[in-house]
Amino acid sequence: MVSSAGKPVIGVIGGSGVYELDALADKRWQRVDSPFGAPSDELLFGSLDGVEMVFLPRHGRGHRIPPAEVNYRANIDALKRAGVTDIISVSACGSFEEELAPGTFVIVDQFIDRTIDRKKSFFGTGLVAHISMAHPVCPRLGDALEAAAQSLDIPVHRGGTYLAMEGPQFSSLAESRLYRSWDCQVIGMTNMPEAKLAREAEMCYATVAMVTDYDCWHPDHDAVEVATIIEVLMKNADNARSLVKTVVPELKQRDAACPGGCDHALDNALITAPDA
């Protein structure tokens, strides 16, 4: 276990619209192999204000990989091998609340996982582990992201539940209403099992869920229109790049291990070794 006290290495997983981080110095794309298969793309190594950074476009450059086919295990494993301590996950999402209008950045603090066809653990037969997902988001990263968004005047909301759906189709009206009745605030297709795997890999993880649309529950938006989403998405992508530039220097140095325990999650996991 590597404690996240001391020098962090910040990983950014870019979602729809975020395929590169221009602001990085000494940029180089480099392949990182994983025993879990191929990550979505090469990793972009660089630095920002002296902080080491690694960027990975979740869907690959050119948006080639749909949400259910992203190799989440390979992505998280590759970032871990690259030395990443903290992951900022940037993703497009739909909104279930009138007040969370398109353009709002939601720093979610909970997830409901409704994905059904994805590999969700690094553990399995031979080595079983059960980690806690009670508090899936790193509070230190969440604090820093909220403050950075506020300083940039990006509309930001702290907290909320992200419903992770399988996709690639958007929700039916009945599903959209159901998730609202569950008190979910936003919906997307990619943050699970990403958040679970980051926790298993003992990495701090926080999501910036960038609202592109109201999903279909909203009376004035009775279908999710891709053209509208893309327009908002491009503006969100610009804001996301500014957010990363602003937040990373704030994460430069810290004296303590993660207050949420992300960096030693396995210490408290129930693990059954084969010959225990």
Q: 12, 84, 93, 240: which one contacts ligand ADE (CB under 6 A)?
A: 93
Q: 110, 115, 212, 246: which one contacts ligand ADE (CB under 6 A)?
A: 212
Is 109 tagged catalytic? no
Q: Are 9 and 85 in contact (CB under 8 A)?
A: yes
Token pair 């039916």 in the structure block, residue: 172
Q: 21, 189, 232, 248: which one contacts ligand ADE (CB under 6 A)?
A: 189
Smallest distance, ligand ADE to C-beta of residue 184, A:
11
Specify the stretch interacting with ligand ADE by CB under 6 A; choose among 53-61, 111-119, 121-129, 181-189.
181-189
Is 97 a binding residue for ligand ADE by CB under 6 A? The answer is no
Specify the stretch interacting with ligand ADE by CB under 6 A; choose among 24-32, 40-48, 86-94, 110-118.
86-94
Specify the stretch interacting with ligand ADE by CB under 6 A; choose among 29-37, 39-47, 57-65, 91-99.
91-99
B/e letters for 143-166, b = 16+ CB within 10 Å, e = fewer, are ebbbebbeeeebbbbbebbbbbbe
Q: Which two tokens stand for residue 48?
A: 């920002």
Is 183 tagged catalytic? no
At CA 47, angle to CA 43 and CA 49, rounded to 5? 155
Q: 224, 244, 258, 262: which one contacts ligand ADE (CB under 6 A)?
A: 224
Is 188 a binding residue for ligand ADE by CB under 6 A? The answer is yes
Give the 3-state secondary structure of residue 4: coil
Number of residues that bind ligand ADE (CB under 6 A): 13
**Contact partners, residue 131, CB within 8 Å, separation at least 6:** 199, 200, 265, 266, 268, 269
Q: How far apart are CA 42 and CA 20, in angstroms?
A: 11
Q: Provide Rg for the chain, Cα atoms.
A: 18
Smallest distance, ligand ADE to C-beta of residue 167, A:
6
- Catalytic site residue from 213, 238, 255, 263: 213
Question: What is the DSSP code (8-state) at residue 259?
Answer: T
Q: How far apart are CA 192 and CA 76, in angstroms?
A: 12
Is 92 a binding residue for ligand ADE by CB under 6 A? The answer is yes
Residue at shortest CB range from ligand ADE: 94
Residues that bind ligand ADE (CB under 6 A): 92-94, 165, 170, 187-189, 212-213, 215, 224, 229
